Structure 1
Amino acid sequence: MFKDFVKEDAVLWEEFKGGNYNSFTVIYQNYIQVLYSYGLQVIKDPELVEDCIQDLFIYIWDNKNTLGKTENIKFYLFKALRRRIVVKLKLKDREELNDDFTHHTSHVQMSYEQTLMALNFGLLW
């Protein structure tokens, strides 16, 4: 029975990669709920999870011709979703750091000498 499930996943994935929109829809319908639940286990931010899932499905449809083979769609999607969440969190953290830096430094005026030293040491861009 497990072999049949693996075979079905592999066939469904290959049909999807071949451009079969119905197969893509079946994948989406079969895994959307479990992906959402899994995403909430990774991060307790429903909006972020929803955004990442949407981005994931857009990405796999747009790049279906270059995706590798899989015999287990669920684990493939779990791994891809986790990766997207981690990347989004890193970007979000980086943006918050930049916002904090900009906020704290916007009120500071450096002298000409301080500006030259900061430029020489790569502290200003």
Structure 2
Amino acid sequence: MDLTKDLNLWSEIRCGNKHALAQLYDLHVKALYNYGRKICPNTALVEDAIQDVFIDLWRYQQKLATPVSIRFYLYASLRRRIIKEDQRNASAIRFDFQWDDINLISLSEEARVIQHEEVHAQSQLLKYNLNNLSPRQYEAIVLRFYDELSYAEIADLMQVNEQSVRNLIQRGLEHLRQYARLVISSFVFLMSVL
């Protein structure tokens, strides 16, 4: 994202430019939607929360300070809005992250027939491991590696200290690394047998 463009649009919004608000929305709506869906399974709630964030930007345009990172400001606003609405609806925030539709690398037909049980077991183990990341680990990993936020920004967003974010990410990655080691060793074994 172009920080200068974001800051220019922000400045224009503060001056009452509706077109700048629309441009800022267009620049960030996909990323906000993706992030929102990761922390809330209710699509309608996520869409409404995004709309509310931008409505509030317009409503409070005169009072807006210029944040260091517009993208971080939008993520934090969306997260607060979703949590607020979710609590209002008396349901807990959770991640909508299921790996039931995962596609593993396709082997040749012959190898697939021979190793069907092994592949099925590995697929189930992968789903199990990914679904067993804590929601906080998954959120921190997504924000760091997919959305490219800094550790400090993630800490502010998740309302924890920076070291806690680093620990969450490290533990989540270690969990996934252990699974990767198992898969690689199994794959090497399968290739040596075939």
**Quick check: 1:36–1:50 contact (8 Å CA) kept in 2?**
yes
- Matched to 2:56, the amino acid is Y
User: TM-score by structure 2 length?
Assistant: 0.44
User: TM-score by structure 1 length?
Assistant: 0.67
Aligned positions of 1:93-108 closer than 5 A? 93=90
Q: 2:15 aligns with which of 18, 22, 33?
A: 18
2:75 corresponds in structure 1 to: 78
2:46 corresponds in structure 1 to: 49
Where structure 1 has 5 or more consecutive residues not aligned to the other structure, the ranges are: 95-125
Tell me the distance in 2 between the aligned counterparts of 1:58 and 1:88.
15
Deviations 1:41-79 (A, max 9, x none): 111110110111111111111111111112422111000
Runs of 4+ more than 4 Å apart: none
For 2:41, what is the secondary structure of its paired residue? coil
Deviations 1:23-53 (A, max 9, x none): 1111011111111111001111101101111
Structure 1 residue 30 corresponds to structure 2 residue 27 = yes
Aligned length: 91
Q: Percent identity?
A: 34
Where structure 2 has 5 or more consecutive residues not aligned to the other structure, the ranges are: 92-194
